[in-house]
Amino acid sequence: MKILVTGANGYLGKGVVKKLLDAGSEVIATDFDDSFIDKRSKIVIENIFEIDNPYEYFNKPDILLHMAWRDGFIHNSKSHIQDLPYHADFISKMIDSGIKQVVVLGSVHEIGFYEGSVSEETPCNPQSLYGISKNALRGIVQLACQKKNIIFQWLRGFYIVGNTEDGSSLFSKIVQAEKKGEKEFPFTNGLNQFDFIDYDEFCSQVSNVVLQTNVNGIINICSGRPEKLSDRVEYFIAENKFQIKLKYGAFPERSYDSKAIWGDNNKIVEIKDRAGG
């Protein structure tokens, strides 16, 4: 199967591309730059929103894995709303032209303020422009796929832990601060509980979803359990043998962050079991 991956040079895209290639897939990787893209893929540097017929342009892929998104860590950036119609138009063009399977990266921020385990049926009430835009795109793409009887998979990503500095996550910022020799890292009180998933496991779960069609719809990319933010960050610092210390209480918790939220991982466990572990 030929897989088109958008946002392939991004923090998450680069790892997923590698996993797909390791699994023997043919990958067409596209982004504005190719600095981090695995060179085993067919790399196309392009602005996907400016292509009239992307399905033909990318040589008729079987699967679209749409991971492209800007300002993902700036939750109230206006770009989320401004770019929404471009994402919808690009994916709609792929659907109308003959793509067989559409996979899109979503976010737990679609849910909004909620406490407990998040399943496919959990209602969404997003509290940021990022969450609002992702939630809207999900509805648009799901409806379009249903009309064309196309396989639809929405990857609802939770909180990713990675120890590289080429990202904008909390953990990447800690790596950056450590490398600068900073002694303290401004932090909240760290009392919120989130579903944390290690970077490599995240990439593996996404790859596993894309390479099967038995389990579809909304699929949580998650660990399936909550962990207190302060505990996970302290462990991250310790496991990487960093010297930096957390400065608790420097920032307030964000008002739209849930006190305790985690993903129902039944679907991802089923996919893993079907793949033989």
Q: What residues are labeled active site?
A: 130
Helix or strand or coil: residue 44? strand
Task: For residue 113, give every residue at least 6 positions away whose Cβ sits within 8 Å of its Cβ, in sequence order, or none.
Answer: 125, 127, 256, 257, 258
Concatenating the DSSP letter of every residue in 123-187 gives --B--SHHHHHHHHHHHHHHHHHHHHT-EEEEEEE-EEE---SSS-SHHHHHHHHHHTT-SEEE-
C-alpha 190/C-alpha 147 separation (Å) is 44
Smallest Cα–Cα separation from 157: which of 244, 239, 275, 65? Answer: 65
H or E segment at 220? strand 217-221
C-alpha 202/C-alpha 207 separation (Å) is 9
C-alpha 210/C-alpha 21 separation (Å) is 12
DSSP H helix total and E strand total for the chain: 8, 15
Q: Helix H segments across the chain?
A: 13-22, 54-57, 79-97, 129-148, 170-179, 199-210, 229-239, 266-274
Task: Read off the amino acid at residue 197.
Answer: I
